[in-house]
């Protein structure tokens, strides 16, 4: 289901492309198309998972309360000019040689013909409130929980840092919401 600003929602076979953060759908003829009105999209629900569209990015939402929670941005980057070494290691600078053919018993065997481009996936945790996405920082926590500013300051002064994974971030934020 796709929800638009000022329009009725639309339903269909949808996916969010992780490479360019576009909404893709299958039309009645089975052809994959890209949504042309991306700026009009407010949120997307795919198989029960909600994605908020903000500033050209689709953030996966992990609600903590009905009003706010954790928003996750996933970025996929295709690595160009990368050589692949043993055990799938990659490098753009080291001297890794690629061998696409090996010889055994007088027969040449071709390897690596079904190559997948090497890529990296990074995830960044944000906070969301309503339809707004904010950095996951001490300052934003204070804005989200103004009545708990002294508790937040004390927590950080004790040497704690913000969680770096979604389950821990959800648990952390749930603690401040009570």
Is residue 165 domain-resident?
A: yes
Who wins on pLDDT, 150 or 88?
Answer: 150
Is residue 81 domain-resident?
A: no
Expressed as residue numbers, the domain containing 43 is 2-76+121-176
Q: Which range, 1-5, 14-18, 168-172, is most confident?
A: 168-172
Q: Which tens digit of pLDDT belongs to each residue from 102-126? A: 444 454 445 555 555 677 888 999 9
Is residue 104 domain-resident?
A: no
Q: Judge if pTM exceeds 0.85.
A: no
Is residue 6 domain-resident?
A: yes
Is residue 98 domain-resident?
A: no
Q: Which tens digit of pLDDT belongs to each residue from 123-165? A: 999 999 998 999 999 999 999 889 989 999 999 999 999 999 9
Burial of 61 (0-12, 13-18, 19+ CB in 10 A): buried
Rounded to an integer, what distance in angstroms lies between the CA atom of residue 10 and that of residue 165?
A: 32
Domain count, the chain: 1
Q: For residues 68 and 174, is the Cβ–Cβ distance under 8 A? A: no
């Amino acid at each position: 289901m796709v929800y638009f600003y000022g329009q009725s929602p639309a339903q269909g076979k949808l996916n969010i492309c992780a490479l360019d953060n576009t909404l893709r759908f299958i039309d009645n003829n089975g052809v994959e198309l890209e949504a042309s009105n991306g700026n009009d999209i407010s949120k997307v629900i795919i198989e029960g998972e909600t994605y908020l569209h903000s500033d050209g990015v689709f953030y996966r939402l992990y609600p903590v309360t009905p009003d706010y929670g954790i928003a996750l941005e996933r970025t996929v980057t295709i690595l160009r000019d990368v050589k692949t070494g043993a055990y799938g290691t990659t490098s753009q600078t080291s001297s890794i040689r690629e061998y696409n053919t090996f010889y055994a018993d007088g027969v040449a065997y071709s390897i690596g013909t079904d190559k997948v481009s090497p890529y990296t996936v990074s995830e960044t945790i944000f906070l969301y409130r309503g339809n707004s996405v904010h950095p996951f920082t001490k300052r934003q926590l204070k804005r989200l929980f103004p009545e708990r500013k002294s508790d937040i300051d004390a927590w950080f002064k004790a040497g704690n840092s913000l969680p770096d994974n979604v389950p821990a971030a959800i648990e952390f934020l749930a603690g401040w919401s009570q």
